Amino acid sequence: MRELSLHLLDIAENSISAGASRIEIVLSEDSALDLLQMSIIDNGKGMSKEMIAQVTDPFITSRTTRKVGLGIPLLKAAAEDCNGSLNITSEPGIGTELTVKFQRSHIDRMPIGDLVSTIINLIICNPLIHWIFSYHYNEKNAIFDDEPVKQALGDFPLTEPEILTCIRSMVEETIQEVNPHFSQDIVTIYNQPLRR
């Protein structure tokens, strides 16, 4: 996977499978510390100590269609290649918190990528989950909490065209508010030649 936001989509899938009703995503960029950090915090069914120890092993998964799980090991390897780390803390019945850290300026550090698409995707496809996205960029931060949006909509579906447009612009505004230079295009251009 070529984007951190694709990994985010993938890791959040684990929280959804764990039956979470509330999932919080925290993305932080700190240029002084040269750190890019992402956390996914859920209130799903949690994992035992043994399961946490096993979960970064590519040969363990809770899925039944195949016996090999690759999402977490892939992200862990990507972080470790960039002087970073991946940590999981979890308690059965309480929830799980996964944090991944990268040296932000590392040449191999993947771009954040199309973050807006990932967040829209998660919110629209999982309307019963309460999503909170917070973005910290140096000393600034902004939060998009989808609860007020859902309250305003009542039981009206999120997939209606007018609503989609509205939610997309809200998520975009949240990111722009903190980091006006955040641009999917720049990330894409910078990503292309590296792979050719």
Partner 1 sequence: MPGIKSLEDLKKAREEALKKRELKAASGTAQVIVGMGTCGIAAGARDAMKAILETIETDAISGVIVTQTGCIGLCEKEPIVQVVIGEQPKVTYGKVTPEVARRIMKEHVTGGKVVESNKINL
Residue ranges in contact with partner 1 by CB under 8 A: 1, 6, 9-10, 13, 17, 63, 65-66, 69-71, 74, 114, 117-118, 120-121, 124-126, 143-145, 148-149, 152-154, 156-157, 159-167, 169-170, 173
Task: Tally the residues of the chain.
Answer: 196
- Closest distance between partner 1 and the C-beta of residue 43, in Å? 19
Closer CB to partner 1, 63 or 140, in the complex? 63
89: phi then psi, degrees, rounded to nearest 5 = -120, 140
Q: How far apart are CA 54 and CA 72, in angstroms?
A: 11
Closer CB to partner 1, 139 or 155, in the complex? 155
Closer CB to partner 1, 6 or 51, in the complex? 6
3-state secondary structure of 34: coil
- Closest distance between partner 1 and the C-beta of residue 157, in Å? 7
Closer CB to partner 1, 35 or 163, in the complex? 163
- Closest distance between partner 1 and the C-beta of residue 117, in Å? 5
- Closest distance between partner 1 and the C-beta of residue 144, in Å? 7
3-state secondary structure of 177: helix
31: phi then psi, degrees, rounded to nearest 5 = -75, -30
Residue with tokens 């191999």, as numbered in its chain: 108
- Longest Cα–Cα distance in the chain: 48
3-state secondary structure of 109: coil
